[in-house]
Amino acid sequence: MARKVSRKIVERREARSHQGIGSEFFHAAELAAGHDYWNAAGLLFVHASIAYADALCIKYAAWKSTSDNHMDAIALLEESTTRLENSKQASSHLMRIVREKNRLAYTGQSFHRDEVEAIRKHAERFREWAEELLR
């Protein structure tokens, strides 16, 4: 049995705010990557993706995760968007982003160009899916 993800009820109109946060983080990540600030870029792509996940959960289920564990955001996204087209693929992109972040964050390593490019690829695909659903 899957465990219950900690969440709070959020008014659906708040989805737009979280979408804006995701967009801002995403653009900041691109700027950081353009200056070879790989750690900043990598973490900003992660946070952009989590903000987009929150926006989707709010829009489609009127809740968002309150957990500090990013894996819980994935579980809640899957629960909230299970019936939407391409939701499994999108969750897979988010999972790859979070796993890469966790791998580096908990080993004390730094992000390198190749790792950030991989995260960027998944973040772009996740963002495109999210933006389409948030229109």
Residue 2 lies in a domain: no
Mean pLDDT, the chain cut into blocks of 10 residues (135 residues total): 79 98 98 97 96 97 92 93 94 94 79 94 98 96
Are 61 and 79 within 8 A, CB to CB?
A: yes
Q: For residue 107, what pLDDT is reported?
A: 79
Q: For residue 2, what pLDDT is reported?
A: 52
Q: For residue 3, what pLDDT is reported?
A: 60
Q: What is the pTM of this model?
A: 0.93
User: 77-111 burial, b for 16+ CB within 10 Å, e for fewer?
Assistant: bbbbbeeeeebeebbebbbbbbebbeebeeeeeeb
Residue 1 lies in a domain: no
Cα separation values, 128 from 9, 38, 75, 132, 135, Å: 25, 22, 20, 6, 11
Residue 110 lies in a domain: yes
Residue 57 lies in a domain: yes
For 12, the domain range is 7-134
Q: For residue 61, what pLDDT is reported?
A: 96
CATH number at residue 107: 1.20.120.330
- Our count of domains for the chain comes to 1
